Structure 1
Amino acid sequence: MSMRPALGAAATVALALLAVVPATPAAADTKESITVDTAGRIGPDGSVTLTGTYRCADSSGPVFISSSITQADPSVRYGIGGSRAVCDGKEHRWQNTGKPRNHVLKKGTAQVEATLMELRLQGGLPLPDFHAAQQQGVTLAQS
């Protein structure tokens, strides 16, 4: 049996769980945190760049920083890139860039959510384990 269908199924399950498991901040553990800078940039091509800091100490699986943005209609969120995190207990900078498909964000205020999430193998499936999440109002400016 090929591993590709099994891995595809595992990824589908993990993504489905991400849609139903709320992103909650980690407990008051100072070793686990994520911040969002109050300023974001819109590039000439409509791409959006968001930045901030994160800290995580321990992980057994890969850890990712995801970010999403909403503007005007809070019920519609757009994913803005994603990046890998290094969990060594030190504070690091993160930057995600992405272009919402079929939508153009405008300069002005927006709401951003950033999440520090690990994929841990449980029963052979990679399941999300949320280390930290932060919501922040930002101001988007043309770059």
Structure 2
Amino acid sequence: MRVSLVAAGAVVAAGVLLGAASGPAAAAPSGTVSANATGTVSRDGTITLSGTYRCSVPSGSGPVFVSSSVRTGDVQHGIGGTSAVCDGAEHTWVNQARPYGTPLPSGPARIEATLLQLNTRSGLPLPAILAADWHALDLRSAKD
């Protein structure tokens, strides 16, 4: 019985030492994104969408972007992308684009904002969604 307690103690000590030697695990990427409930349409058809985001990613793991889109009926339009600063602090994002085709009218629509990282650790950039927000949007005429 005494030998098995000594052996068990040795196994526990070895596990503790191995855990300490390997150091802390790299933090997983994390983030939040929110889109404002109103957007604007300028006279030339340019859509402006905005909101906030917060993210933290391990150094050297790849760039992070805030992308946005607006949907009216069955048609979804990409409205730009912004490079994100992932320092754990809250930041504002603003994306603008003029959708292809007929300009969008003022009125109800849907917005989607996505916080996306291009993870480059494997050598091939792979997209990873860190956060997303989608909800009703009120498109208003810009005062331009």
Pairwise TM-score range, normalised by the shorter structure: 0.7 to 0.9
Contact 2:110 / 2:136 at 8 angstroms: preserved in 1? yes
Letter in 2 for 1:68: S
Structure 2 stretches of 5 or more lacking a match? 1-29
Contact 2:62 / 2:121 at 8 angstroms: preserved in 1? no
Mapped to 1, the partners of 2:35 and 2:135 lie a distance apart of 6
Corresponding position: 1:67 with 2:68: yes
2:119 counterpart residue number: 120
1:107 counterpart residue number: 106
Measured against aligned partners, the alpha-carbon deviations of 1:63-99 in whole angstroms (never above 9, x if no partner) come to: 00100111122xx211001110000001100000001
Mapped to 2, the partners of 1:77 and 1:45 lie a distance apart of 19
Mapped to 1, the partners of 2:66 and 2:40 lie a distance apart of 18
Q: Percent identity?
A: 45
2:11 counterpart residue number: none
Measured against aligned partners, the alpha-carbon deviations of 1:27-70 in whole angstroms (never above 9, x if no partner) come to: xxxx6210010110001110000000000012421100100111
1:138 counterpart residue number: 137
Mapped to 2, the partners of 1:35 and 1:103 lie a distance apart of 27
Letter in 1 for 2:134: Q
Give the C-alpha shift of residue 119 in structure 1.
Answer: 0.5
Aligned length: 112
Mapped to 2, the partners of 1:122 and 1:58 lie a distance apart of 12
Counterpart of 1:50 in 2: which secondary structure? strand
Structure 1 stretches of 5 or more lacking a match? 1-30
Mapped to 1, the partners of 2:136 and 2:72 lie a distance apart of 10
Moved more, 51-60 or 110-119: 51-60
Counterpart of 1:86 in 2: which secondary structure? coil
Counterpart of 2:56 in 1: which secondary structure? coil
Give the C-alpha shift of residue 122 in structure 1.
Answer: 4.5
Give the C-alpha shift of residue 123 in structure 1.
Answer: 3.3
Q: Output the TM-score relative to the length of structure 1.
A: 0.74
